Amino acid sequence: MKLNIVPALRGATWVKLGIQTFGKQPLALIGLFFMFMAIMSVASMVPMIGLPIAMTVLPAMTLGLMAATREATQGKFPMPLILLTGLRSDSRKARAMLTLGAMYAAGFMCAMGVSYLVDGGGFAHMYLGGQVPDKELMASSEFMAAMWTFIGLHLPLSLMFWHAPALVYWQDLPAVKSMFFSIVACFRNFLAFTVFAAAWMGVMVLMVLAITAVSSLMGNPGLAGVLLFPALMLVASMFFTSLYFTYHDSFEVDVPDAKLPAD
């Protein structure tokens, strides 16, 4: 396995490839994304242990979406069972994937627990309960401190697990080593990932502005509220489609892929 260093503008190419690949198999990829969301939501509903279960299966589910993207680049129609790719492989890889999940769940719960100590659980209840916080809560210094504490702890955790599922499955690395190479790759390609994040933020902002403009032109402001959620889910599905390309370019890939365009 060899780590590749890519130019900063490759981050924008990852976004373009994600959108283009989504366009090749839109029904399959958005269907898989909603299945992914449904599995995570149902798992989270289990009392007491739901959230740890959801966080434990998250790396494997993310690998499934990446595998679906790889099939789409090859002109194939990814089937629903591809979401379980990481758990349906040989027992050694499946154990490594579940180990990844357990470590991610522990890290996530620790980060959330620290934020709970900062503001007494205001941010944690908002984040985990999916409730919109009131203005008074959001304006409090404790809430803001808890939010930034969680972000500061969760960001390095996310980088450690960004490529880790793919490295376990396609590069046959053990869980801990995959986390190490994942965060190293993210830091070595920091500029490309910065452009990648900025580009997706731009896509999201443009989507919101377009929906708002259409609603205003049609004289129906309420239409924006109706369209906004499905539009953001569409962008989220495209974002997950683009994740495979960040892995593909950051490492020498030993699996056959369609030739990806250069910058």
pLDDT at 259: 54
pLDDT at 141: 86
Alpha-carbon distance of 256 to 263, in angstroms, equals 20
User: Which residue in 82, 86, 105 sits closest to 94, CA to CA?
Assistant: 86
The CA radius of gyration of the chain, in Å to the nearest whole number, is 19
pLDDT at 198: 97
pLDDT at 13: 96
pLDDT at 226: 80
**245 in Cβ contact with 20 (< 8 Å):** no
pLDDT at 136: 73
Residue with tokens 């933020």: 201
User: Which residue in 128, 130, 150, 146 sits closest to 138, CA to CA?
Assistant: 146
3-state SS, the chain, equals CCECCCCCCHHHHHHHHHHHHHHHCHHHHHHHHHHHHHHHHHHHCCCCCHHHHHHHHHHHHHHHHHHHHHHHHCCCCCCHHHHHHHHHCCHHHHHHHHHHHHHHHHHHHHHHHHHHHHHCCHHHHHHHHCCCCCHHHHHCHHHHHHHHHHHHHHHHHHHHHHCHHHHHHHCCCCHHHHHHHHHHHHHHCHHHHHHHHHHHHHHHHHHHHHHHHHHHHCCCCHHHHHHHHHHHHHHHHHHHHHHHHHHHHHECCCCCCCCCCCC
pLDDT at 260: 62
Supply 36's token pair.
């992914």
Distances (CA, A) of 59 to 74, 146, 154, 176: 23, 25, 15, 13
**119 in Cβ contact with 146 (< 8 Å):** yes
The whole-model pTM stands at 0.89
Encode the chain (263 residues) as per-residue pLDDT tens digits: 789 999 999 999 999 999 999 999 999 999 999 999 999 988 888 887 888 999 999 999 999 999 999 999 998 999 999 999 988 878 899 999 999 999 999 999 999 999 999 988 888 888 877 666 667 777 788 888 999 999 999 999 999 999 999 999 999 999 999 999 999 999 999 999 999 999 999 999 999 898 888 888 887 777 777 888 888 899 999 999 999 999 999 998 655 555 565 55
